[in-house]
A and B are shown apart, each in its own frame.
Chain A
């Protein structure tokens, strides 16, 4: 076992344990969006889970650290908070805030992270970025809201892990990246109607099981 000291709190973990998971298990909250427990390699995409490790000059994402030897970690230094707040502000600047009409309202990771970091949902000096259409209905029974999506990739990776043929994929590149379902295929659609894990994996309100879609899934059966 390896000893960790996080914010002065002592704990022991098995070697090779992921730092973020270890902290979360101990009840030490570190903001995160793209972390996926079962993933073999971290995505390290949301850039929220920064921590400072004694002896390492710059903050590091906790999801990328495998604990090999004793570490002294701080989760709330000014450098960490500065990066986290900027990352969140950036995500929010590309996010269409309309919580009242969003099905994720009050269960949304963005809301809780904003509260935790004391950042308003409308980030100041950054101007809002217009993103594509309100809702994408390419998938036979899952609606996707690109303007709510934070591109954490949890849906894509969850689907790939549970199913060799992910039904959602990132498309495009850079600021134009969107999660999309491209074309349907009856056998795979049927699997979706039983699985729904991507919808559960979404930390925000960007994927929704379409109510009228439930009917569609039965017609496929």
Chain B
């Protein structure tokens, strides 16, 4: 294709009309639409079996239904999720949760064939109606503000027609009618800050790269996502790859890049294949390659698979690894925008940053500024996990409080337990206590609290959690992922970890907390790259906000959160244990439960590994298993000679 007389906008309008036509045809042929969520988490929850069961039913019973797949709708707690749109039944489109093959058969029989929607399995309706509550009235749906994830879970990620018909690539068409400088100005005016962690102004980054005199410039999308508790970048790619591609094309045009790459973890096979399909479709539609949408602008996007090193999310390390070296960071400056991949100016942006670009171009800088806070406009995506009722991916405006996010949007903490802490931002983030519940969250407030937006991981913890253990967990991660180049991070994190491990075993020596504090400060100040500079944050914040947890471990060998296994003991309250009940015996992985002389149960302290399975197994009406710390508090019940320990294999 060569640059022709038609404008990009006209070319796109034609593409969209064709796509809408195709979408309409598809829908009219099939009065029933069945949609299954098949992002990684849906697949993990058994979504493939659900889909196969529907496919089989449609084939064998000749149902006039079309089976579609979408990505993640954000409600990962309800997977596998299915939406059935069966207008003839008189019901609006219905959202079903936890649909296993058994439920599929029931739904096919009762609803698709019989017209009874099995309301007891319905979570809600997809739109407002008189019969049923609509899902959008649920806090978890209604309180979100989706701009990046707006189409996730709504359109088929494998279909470019679905994206085009929904207005996709329209922003690219209007961007191509602007000059690159105008686009940079618009992004700057929108106040967009990078979603990769540090919140660096995107417009500024683009301007710097564009202003370098160079024959070649690169654009790299950072999809390395190594935080051990966050998965939104992967979900975005699996659910709506075209929005990222569109954002990359606009960015490449704006900075004058001649090459574009996506650096994505090889551990994300589904995301990689989704992207490959999407790139091929874009190429077929003249949206990639030479003369995009008939304009003078052309570019290719290539995929580079990262080999699993957290530090390669750091931009200089990422570049080294693409050049074929060990992914060790380099001193900045020079910043990649000045000298990056193969020493050419290189813009590196996160998946979310690039995916926000199309809506900003389409709706304008003022619209974007209208969401969020003055200094951090727009939304934040959190992957909320841990002790919350509705975990999953949540997109909310910046500036919302933690309380609102945890208690209103995510349904609060289950089992009537109390909030103890929130860990925000993964390995470089921090642990916040309840005094932060009413602080609005944005880039700057989190930085003041010693945490970080980071990747957007948010772990909610109830009173039965141990902050020393949380710090130990993150340090174990960062010290394993340290690239090993500089002394502070390589050796310093190792000492931090050793010290935290000693605390969680009740073996720390006097002065341990002071050592943690000074060493942490020095690692922050002395390390070469962001990994080392932020690695001590979980330690520093937990020391600051949960000092009593540390002191209990150090001075009393006691774990207040009943988490550190060397410091706790399980025992069975003989008052409560029901004579003859055997519920806890079979579940114990090491056969530590024995029968006492009174035909109640006891736990062999020497065998018990403190796994807690017996607590879960003990019937709630007895609730006889107790946990205490320090272990010496557990009453010792002797195993009768007549019941010698069984081999665990037989248990």
Contact = CB atoms under 8 A, between A and B. Distances in A.
Q: Do chains A and B touch in the complex (CB under 8 A)?
A: yes
Interface of B: prevailing SS: helix
Interface in B166-182: none
A83 B525 contact: yes
A65 to B, nearest CB: 10
A177 B488 contact: no
Contacts of B525: 58-59, 79, 83
A172 B488 contact: no
B326 interface: yes
A86 B488 CA distance: 8
B498 A44 contact: no
Interface in B356-412: none
A61 interface: yes
B490 interface: yes
A86 B525 CA distance: 11
Interface in A100-133: 125-127, 129
Contact of A174 (B484, B488, B518): B484
A43 B479 CA distance: 20
Interface in B484-500: 484-488, 490-495, 498
B483 A90 contact: no
Contact of A41 (B309, B331, B481): B331
A211 to B, nearest CB: 31
A47 B488 contact: yes
Contact of B528 (A45, A79, A175): A45
Interface string B272-316: 000000000000000000000000000000000000010000000
A22 to B, nearest CB: 17
A6 interface: no
A13 to B, nearest CB: 19
B515 interface: yes
Given A83-B525, A170-B326, A175-B479, A90 B491 contact: yes
B221 to A, nearest CB: 24
Contact of A47 (B484, B498, B519, B526): B526
Contacts of A150: 487
A26 B45 CA distance: 67
B40 interface: no
B470 to A, nearest CB: 21
A82 interface: yes
A42 interface: yes
Contacts of A82: 522
A126 B487 contact: no
A45 B487 contact: yes
Contacts of A153: 485
B488 A87 contact: yes
A174 B480 contact: yes
Interface in A164-191: 170, 172-177
Contacts of A125: 511, 515
A208 interface: no
Interface in B505-529: 511, 515, 518-519, 522, 525-528
Nearest to B483: A173
Contact of A173 (B484, B486, B491, B493): B484
B526 A87 contact: yes
A150 B484 CA distance: 11
Nearest to A42: B331
A202 interface: no
B491 A129 contact: yes
Contacts of A79: 525
Nearest to A48: B487
A34 to B, nearest CB: 9
User: Is chain A's binding surface mostly helix, strand, loop or mixed?
Assistant: loop
A94 interface: yes
Contacts of A158: none
A90 B326 CA distance: 23
A73 interface: no
Contacts of B493: 174-175
A75 B526 CA distance: 15
Nearest to B478: A174
A83 B526 contact: yes
A86 B491 CA distance: 11
Given A41-B331, A86-B522, A174-B479, A94 B486 contact: no
A151 interface: yes
Interface string B519-554: 100100111100000000000000000000000000
Given A64-B331, A90-B492, A125-B511, A176 B484 contact: yes
B526 A175 contact: no
B490 A126 contact: no
B482 A173 contact: yes
A173 B483 CA distance: 5
6 contacts: A45-B485, A48-B487, A86-B488, A125-B511, A175-B484, A175-B490
Interface of B: 309, 326, 330-331, 479-488, 490-495, 498, 511, 515, 518-519, 522, 525-528
Interface of A: 41-48, 50, 58-59, 61, 64, 79, 82-83, 86-87, 90-91, 93-94, 125-127, 129, 150-151, 153, 170, 172-177
Given A94-B491, A127-B495, A177-B484, 13 more contacts: A42-B331, A46-B486, A47-B487, A47-B528, A48-B487, A127-B498, A129-B491, A129-B495, A151-B485, A170-B484, A173-B309, A174-B494, A175-B494
Complex A-B, nearest 10 residue pairs according to Cβ-Cβ distance, in ascending order? A177-B484, A90-B491, A174-B482, A86-B522, A44-B331, A174-B484, A64-B331, A175-B494, A83-B526, A45-B485
